[in-house]
Structures are given as C-alpha cells and as structure tokens.
C-alpha cells in the first residue's frame, strides 16, 4: 500500500509535468484551453454543468499559470548560470 506522502508526491510530479508541458516554449503556441477542456470532458463523460463549472476552471487555472511559470523557470535558469570567473579562473586567463 502506498503512503499518503508517496501518493501526494506522485500527484505533485504529474501536475509538475503538466505545467512543464504547458510552458514549454516549442509547444506553448498549441495550448488551447477549449480544446483541452472538451477532450477531458469526453474522457470523463462530463455533463455540460461539470464542463462549465469544474473542468473549464481547472484547465483555465493551468493555462493561465503559464506566464508565472515562465517567470519561475527564467529565474531558476538565471541562478544556475555562472556569475563570472572565479579567482583561479582569472589567474589561468592571465
């Protein structure tokens, strides 16, 4: 049996994968919340009410999170870049 922590981490990983796929620069132009909502509703055989008040909201939240996620990814990338040469590297260049 899976523990509560493992279960939540598994869900967290899947949500992170979804967000990363949505913000990926090469595919961001293809993100269409209406098409995604319609597909999910067909998959779950959702009623019109469920589509309007639940699935559309969930998809919208993921899609509108894209600019914030771009900012987060950009900040993470800038932190991982070297800020300059170390003293040893400067000596080697001389």
Q: In this structure, are residues 23 and 70 in contact, taking their beta carbons and an 8 Å threshold? A: yes
Region 67-92 average pLDDT: 69
Residue 33 φ then ψ, to 5°: -60, -35
What predicted TM-score, i.e. pTM, was given to this entire model? Answer: 0.61
- Residues 33-62: tens digit of each pLDDT: 899 899 999 999 999 999 989 999 998 888
């Amino acid at each position: 049996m899976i523990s509560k922590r493992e279960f939540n981490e598994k869900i967290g990983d899947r949500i992170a994968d979804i967000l990363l796929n949505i913000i990926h620069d090469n595919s961001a132009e293809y993100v269409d919340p209406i098409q995604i909502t319609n597909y999910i509703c067909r998959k779950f055989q959702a009623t019109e009410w469920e589509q309007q008040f639940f699935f559309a909201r969930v998809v919208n939240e993921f899609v509108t999170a894209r600019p914030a996620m771009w900012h987060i990814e950009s900040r993470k990338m800038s932190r991982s870049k070297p800020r300059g040469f170390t003293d040893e590297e400067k000596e080697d260049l001389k």
